[in-house]
Structure 1
Amino acid sequence: MNIVKWFHNKLFSRIRLREKLFIMFFFVAIIPLLSFVYYSHQTIKRELTDQTYANMATSLEQINLNLESKLDAYSKISSTLYMDNILRAYLIRDYSEDMGLFVDAYQYFNNTIKNVLTTNPGIQSLTVYTRNQTLPADNVYIKRWDSKFEQSHVYLSLANTFGDIRFVTQQTESGGIPTITLARLLNYDKYPYGILTINIPESDIYSLMAQESEDKSIFIVDAEGNIISSKDKRMLNMNLKSFIRDEFSESLEGKFNDRFNGENVFVAYNTTKFGWKIVSVIPYQSFMAKAQAATARSLTIALLNIFLSALLIYTASRIFTKRVEYLLKMIRRVEKEDFNVNMKSLGHDEIGQLGFAFNKMAKRINKLITEVYKKEIDKKEAEMNVLQAQINPHFLYNTLASISSLAIQNGDMRINKMVADLAKFYRISLNNGKNVLSIHEEITLTRYYIAIQQVRFAGLLRVHYNIEETVLPCPIVKLSLQPLVENCINHAIWDDKQGINIVIKAYRDGQDIVLKVIDDGMGIPSDELKEDFKMSGYGVQNIDHRIKLTFGNDYGVTFFSKLGIGTAVQIRIPG
């Protein structure tokens, strides 16, 4: 322990960061590398043997999934045609009375089947065999269900299937490459009216395992052991038991040792849900040779890596520390409140990302300082505009009190009520110079304004309130509702006899509060909506601007109107 402590205090702590990184990285790279070479030499054969079995099982499982997926896709195509009511109607229709009817039928047959063949290029052909003697057969898509067909392997495989799918292997007419046929009995209420066959070429099945068969032999065999698909096409339709002894157990998967073409081999197999087996055969020598070559390569690469590691570690330590020093220099500039930092790119690794994030942070801080300063100026200007718009309310309030006294002395209570309502209106709007009051106060202020206007318009204003009590204590920007009601009165009345209805609503919408002023007046043409957004007094745009300054850009005013129907203005504020 004393030696380690002396080494750290006297030597290691005094050298530069670059040399420290070089020493640490060198030992971290070299010691595991030498240990790995030694360990690999001892265990590579055993590990490779186990891995070979695991890879074979994985490969078979993947091929199994792909094969089942492909066969399921073809099964779904057959189910679509099986459930096609139009196809069934055309197949069972009686065409003896009017042979011209079959033209529509063939147009549907051709469109449907060509669409299937176009979207599924792996299908070689698709045919429907029909018993309907009145329907002409084109011997391409529609063929006769005759005695010759009933002797075929396809027809015999459908005995007692009642609409279930069967996969049948058979030779093509050319006698060359075998074809896999999906066969399905088309029946309706247990009445068979046709047989659907979908022919799939062997090459479509082999493509699922073509890439896997480079260093091994893979076969797909049916339940009887006949080879359905193989890399060696000469083995197709031959029985696999002729080449490998039958050790396939009743289990769905397994493995065993055997001889194939005079070589010792590993054999692994898997079984699909359709009863087919996928068999993989790999010679011992194919992976044992790789084990020997891998050991030799590991020794060569290890020696080369020792040299390259020393060179690369030294270079990396220089690059690493150089960028760290540059980043530290920029940090010290920001520490001195110099936020105009424009760092050069430090790459795309963690240090580069750190430099990018630091540069972005410095610019963001600078931008936020500017935005906060500007926002405060805008807020002060908005508050000043509100105060200026109140037309010296102190003087006006005192004057109104005098007018009210004169009205009482002269017995004119109508004028007294108007003046009293106007005084109460300005008392609330003054609000000690504050820009925010409660929704209850804002609605009360609006009521006083409406009371004054109802005296003027005498029965033409019909105002309805729908206010949730839970929103009344919540804050709102002063003079938000009253200008909207003023717009209704000044611009919406189009009939001096009928007047208008005004509805004022306030309710919660999730985490927000929504206030609406709705009228059934004349409405606004769509081409005038933008200009109307700025109209009258403070205007809708002014209200929207003040709400955004107070509560943020997620809130504000929205405007809806339709000519001849009416106008609705909505205010959204946080709850």
Structure 2
Amino acid sequence: MILRKSDAYIPLRYKLLISYLLLVLTPVIVIGTYAYITSVNSSEEHTRSNLEIAVKQIGSNVDFRLADVIRGSEDIFADQSLSRILSGYYLDYEKYKIMTQYILPKIESAVNLPFLDAKLSIYLNNTNISEFYYDDRKPSEGEGRQYSIYHINRIENAIWYKSLKLNYETQEWIQIESDVTNGKISFVRPVINYETLLPIGLIKMNVNLKDIFYDVDFTKLGKDSLLFVVDGNNQLLYASSRVDSESNLLSGAKGGYVSQPNQYMQIKQKISNMDASIIAWVPTSSFQENSQKVRNLTILICMLSLLVLTLISWLMSRYFSKRFLKLIRSLTAFKEGDFHKRMVVPGKDEFSQIGQAFNDMASNMESLISEVYLSKLEKKEVELQVLHSQMNPHFLYNTFSSISRMAKLGEIEKMHEMIRELAKFYRLTLNKGEMIISLEKELQIIQSYVDIQRIKFGNRVVVTYEIDETLLELDTVKFILQPFVENVLEHAWYDDEIHLIIRIGVDGNDICLEVQDNGLGMKQESIEQVLDPSEKGIGYGIRNVDQRIKLQFGKGYGVSIESVVGEGTKVQIRFPKYRHSN
């Protein structure tokens, strides 16, 4: 037997092989993938967690030292007695006493920080207080902390001072004057007159950035990591030594904004006591080394499993497919009409039982196929004819009543036209007793019926046809549209005029006939009663059409109704594309 391309099929042994592979490889792949993803994620999360803890600890240390500076300024800011002294007016002999006995000891105590060397400068509006400062000398050994008193006119025109907008709550870390060049930063806040709560001066604590951020060291996170500090405007404030030595890693950072490169993971820790953040960049390659080892091992195990299981599956599928091939050859012969074909399967297992069952089936089928098949065809034909003969002939009685009324009124021409259309209608309907007709003839039947009704109702009936003419050569069960149009004209009148739309179209592989009106509409319970086979006396013609279609084409087809009260009803008749073979 030569197979055409359209007859090609996949042998059972290949299906068995594929099924075995899927059944065994699926859990292997799923478990391997899950183990790989879990281990990679766990490793990355663990590493990231450790790095976050380290960066957080660095941030805590920095915050502690910044708090030390803030506490030193607080000693001056919160001292109301000192505030009153700095606001007062004194004679020359009083100035020395106040300066030496109270002001300078207080300032020296404030600048004497336990962990940082700071330079404290106080700028006062009160020029009555004498200035006190060092003459541009470096402090002696053990004298790392300096303090000074200046008059505010030294800085009142400076841009940085004007931008401060001093008030009671002002506290800022800024780099001013030569701070950027010298690697320093200043903490500024006002000196307050507590009677008026207005600034009477400025406190400036100047410290080295390295003294504050010496914990910001890349070696604590790994040799390939970067660690630096940015201010609130995301500009570089301080960087670890590696960034200084490899400036290309933060290209342009010192003159602009810091932008994270793609090959680094970022960890950011906000500094509480300064508008700044510690940022750590850790190369993603450090995460990927372990991930690649796990991936390679997983792939190797999966490939070895694939080879071994493929061999086992091939041997098993080959063993079982031999017996199936015997059954296939017997069934093929049976399909081609050789009902004498029998199969012999040795052994005492399920295959031998299948062979025996096939042989018994073949014997029974050979004797019964003609009788059963023909009897079912005859029964189906009889049922179709009975259903068709039960179609409601009300429209015929109504038509004769209309003809009689026209005769009494002397409307001979209209009566003649109605009789002619009625004859045409029955000539199409009878159709030599055939139950299956073309869609074209079904359309002619409904057009003839509509013409009869137009004679009766005149312009009050408006019918629109939407027909896909390419479908008219296909076949359908006869007389399925007329009951729905008749139902509209008898029960759906809403006004003096009624509009119907009759459609013949296609939906996928199905033919869809539709009758839509703009009449009274139906409630959902009425629709359910009409389509319920057990109902009596309501919607008989519609149920009849539904039963005839289901009998001819199957239960998946038939009639469906959509309706909205006061807007109208749409009935759809659905059946497969069908061509009756004579």
- Range into which the TM-score falls when normalised by the shorter chain: 0.3 to 0.5
Structure-2-length-normalised TM-score: 0.41
RCO (CA 8 Å, sep 6+): is it higher in 1 or 2? 2
Higher alpha-carbon Rg: 2
TM-score (norm 1): 0.42
